[in-house]
Amino acid sequence: MSDSPYIIDVTQGNFEQVVLEGSQERPVLVDFWADWCQPCHMLAPVLEKLVQEYEGRVILAKINSDEQQALAASFGVRSLPTVMIFRDRKPVDQFMGVQPESAIRALLSRHLPRDSDTQRDAAREQLEAGDAESALTTLQAAIDSDPDNQAIKIDIARALMALGRADEADDTLKTLPMDLHQDEEVQRLEAQIQFARVAARGEELARLEAETESGDNPEALHRVAAARILSEDYESALALLLRLMQKHRKYGDDAGHKGLLTAFELLGAQHPLVKEYRRKMVSLLY
């Protein structure tokens, strides 16, 4: 075991504390290695040099894959060395094989805490308090001071959505680098934007809601469902989308079916409503 406080041998017993809990405070570099793996021994000094240089801003967790086979299998490790970066209890980046120091440094730099993250945290608090305008101002200042911190744009898009500016939120997300487009938060925002573009509002919403009670007008079903998604009345929204799919498959190029799929993406595969309504949707398809 290393004498450095920044390099820790990890087992099933301390994985939760070192990697999952630790990644909520700073990035954790998880090195899956084995004693027989020569490339692992070549990579190790590079990783250790970097974490020593960062002096606690990042931790190196070393997992012997032969001794901790269940851990390696749970993260789909198939070749060694495999190195993953954990942030907020989940892997956010990885590489396999021996990499040059410059490449590893560049990868780490994307996940290390930066001054603009403090502004992001402040903006999130403003947004949670319902002050989207102030949050947007804070985020604009953050990205002006740190334009390389592209993740700020995700928060900007969220603030724009809170202000009802869906098209601007969409334009912002389109400027993200490709790797961030795979972020679950981005995918949820993109789903919300799709619903925002068709959602009924104000007096029109009240009128269309009355129509959904008295009949099966496809426009009413679609636009009211979208409004209820945005207000987080998910069960009612899914019921309306299912009804739209059942009654009007040709409306909006099968808008009910597409709306259900978008809602499932927004809620996530493990949400109980997704499991329930996916079964109902499949029964209509087949």
Structure tokens at 266: 């927004």
Pairing of strands 59-64, 7-9: parallel
Give the Å distances, CA to CA, from 138 to 71, 84, 124: 41, 32, 9
User: How is residue 22 annotated by DSSP?
Assistant: G
- CA 40, CA 46: separation in Å to the nearest integer? 10
**Peptide bond just before 81 cis, omega within 30 deg:** yes
Structure tokens at 262: 């978008």
Q: Taking the alpha carbons of 139, 143, 145, 146 in that order, is the dihedral positive or negative?
A: positive
Which positions are annotated as active-site residues?
Answer: 37, 40
Strand order across the 7-9 sheet: 7-9, 59-64, 28-33, 82-87, 90-96
Nearest to 123 by CA among 137, 141, 140, 135: 135
